[in-house]
Structure 1
Amino acid sequence: MLVSVKSFKELTTKDVYAVLQLRSEIFVVEQNCVYQDVDGKDFKAFHVLGYKDNNLVAYTRIFKSGDYFKEASIGRVVVKKSERKHKYGYVIMQESIAAVKEHLQETTIKISAQKYLLKFYNNLGFKEEGEEYLEDGIPHMVMYKH
């Protein structure tokens, strides 16, 4: 998998289409969750794209502190279902953590994690804080990496 980090302006129309298609495939269809994915925040984000054979198979978006949360953040973490066996979730997250440091010059990262993925994020150095809450009907936890 080849990973690149792009600002919104650097995304091609093919990139934008692939991102929206993958996010919809996972968050709306697979997770059966009706919500507004296109939230107007993509313009401020850096986009971490994982391509395999010219197909987008993994993605996140990252924000500098103050643009989403008070702290820098990583969100919209997705890996195409057929590609999860390759551990691309770890690859795209490690690249995203590195991108926060390189592109944003920040080290504290806040995420809103789906609760069933706590162990995955713990393995990447994130620690949960606070109480469980529902976001779009799915249990989540706030997690930090310092």
Structure 2
Amino acid sequence: MNWYVKNFKNLTIEELYELIKARVDVFVVEQTCPYPELDNYDQVSVHMFLKIDGNIAAYVRLLPEHSKFEEASIGRVLVVEKYRNQGFARRLLEKAINYINHQWKSDKIKIQAQNRLKDFYASLGFKQISEIYIEDGIPHIDMIWKRG
């Protein structure tokens, strides 16, 4: 089991392919949600992922301040189905928050969370800042994490 943190240029071609495949498998196929998965934010992002036995198990994309939002943000959070319910999502998010907080010195982190995961994100310190809205056919809310 190995954790990786890489910017776009440091991803190998194989890693990039595996990450995109995992994202498409979860967000497009599993959630039956056709949307533009490749959105031109990968190039400015930090990609954090967990590999177990050579396979992608969990992944998150970290976007710096003033890229997608004014705040730093976390997106494309996923745990591959066979690795779910083992605590990897929490560990992944804790690592992502820590990275943004310490490496980028960002005080705020914004997410666009699926509404069904509101309590999970709240348990990590995120607070709801929007009403429920539909994005790509799925109810979402905006949430903010603030240091201190």
Q: Which TM-score bucket, shorter chain as reference?
A: over 0.9
Report the alpha carbon displacement of residue 103 of structure 1 after superposing the two structures with TM.
2.7
* Match of residue 79 from structure 1: 79
Contact 1:3 1:92 (8 Å CA) reproduced: no
Residue identity in the other structure for 1:8:
F
1:102-117 paired onto structure 2 within 5 Å: 102-117=102-117
Match of 1:13 in 2: 13
Q: Distance in 1 between matches of 2:17 and 2:103?
A: 24
Deviations 1:47-81 (A, max 9, x none): 01111111111001111110111100000001001
1:79-131 CA-partner distances (Å, limit 9, x unpaired): 00110121111111111111112332212100000000001101111111121
- Residues 3, 95 of structure 1: 8 Å contact kept: no
Q: Which runs of 5+ in 1 are unaligned?
A: none
Partner of 1:85, secondary structure, is coil
Q: In structure 2, what residue type is equivalent to 1:115?
A: N
- The runs of at least 4 consecutive aligned structure 1 residues that moved more than 2 Å come to none
Q: 1:21-60 deviations in whole A, cap 9, x for unaligned?
A: 1000100111000011011110000001111111111001
2:144 counterpart residue number: 144
The within-5 A match list for 1:1-146 is: 1-146=1-146
User: In structure 2, what is the Cα distance between the partners aligned to 1:108 and 1:99?
Assistant: 12
> Cα RMSD over matched residues?
0.9
Secondary structure at the residue paired with 2:6?
A: strand
Give aligned-pair identity as a percent.
38
Number of residue equivalences: 146
Structure 2 unaligned segments of length 5 or more: list them.
none
Letter in 1 for 2:123: N
Q: TM-score, normalised by structure 2?
A: 0.95
Equivalent-residue separation in structure 2 for 1:7 and 1:52 (angstroms) = 20
